A and B are shown apart, each in its own frame.
Chain A
Amino acid sequence: GENVEQHPSTLSVQEGDSAVIKCTYSDSASNYFPWYKQELGKGPQLIIDIRSNVGEKKDQRIAVTLNKTAKHFSLHITETQPEDSAVYFCAARGRYTGFQKLVFGTGTRLLVSP
């Protein structure tokens, strides 16, 4: 089955800096890669996703890139703000089989210092 690895486990940046979180997946048939943000005491919230037919997707200060050959994808946050502090999870889902069984990475705790 699919296996997703995520790095780093913790990331500290200064406000205004950029943050990059990287994930690798094992199943070359995976075709959907979402990123979730989880704030303290809340459930994971979808912030951006990308499908395997796209190499890059951007939404304001966040962007995701996908390298299918290397089987890795990354989350980029520019101009970080203190409210970006949270745990971020990447996930991967295998080829469409009629359901959305996601395999999650282990999470990255991002701390943005003012």
Chain B
Amino acid sequence: DARVTQTPRHKVTEMGQEVTMRCQPILGHNTVFWYRQTMMQGLELLAYFRNRAPLDDSGMPKDRFSAEMPDATLATLKIQPSEPRDSAVYFCASGQTGQPGDEKLFFGSGTQLSVL
């Protein structure tokens, strides 16, 4: 059963530390999205990639967040330095685009981040 895999599932860190979250999209999918979920803001789009190229990261604080896709099987979201306000659940989602009808997005189980 194909699924999006995210690691770690939980991360507790201290303010100022670097945090790296990883995502393995579904094999064959060519788009990857990073979402952040909080009680106050709901699901916010941070960044997305198509064919490993970043197409939109306007939702991401540029000074501390960075997103990359080193290869087709790995996407990373990095926060450096982390702050308590970054505490949230971070979801990765993947999909297949290229023609109308390929809109379905599939989410991973998320990384719950707590910055103390």
Contacts and interface: CB of A to CB of B under 8 A. Distances in A.
A105 B95 CA distance: 20
Nearest to B107: A43
A45 B4 CA distance: 11
B-side binding surface: helix, strand, loop or mixed? strand
Contacts of A61: none
A-side binding surface: helix, strand, loop or mixed? loop
Given A34-B104, A43-B91, A93-B103, A99 B110 contact: no
Given A89-B43, A99-B55, A46 B104 contact: yes
B105 A99 contact: no
A72 B97 CA distance: 25
A47 to B, nearest CB: 11
B48 interface: yes
A95 B110 CA distance: 28
Nearest to B6: A43
A102 interface: yes
Contacts, number: 53
Contacts of A114: none
A28 to B, nearest CB: 18
Interface residues of A, number: 22
B65 interface: no
B91 A49 contact: no
A104 to B, nearest CB: 4
Given A44-B91, A45-B107, A101 B43 contact: no
> Which are the 8 A-B pairs with shortest beta-carbon distances?
A43-B107, A104-B43, A32-B103, A44-B107, A106-B42, A43-B109, A100-B103, A43-B110
Interface of B: 4, 31, 33, 42-43, 45, 48, 50, 55-56, 91, 93, 95, 97, 100, 102-110
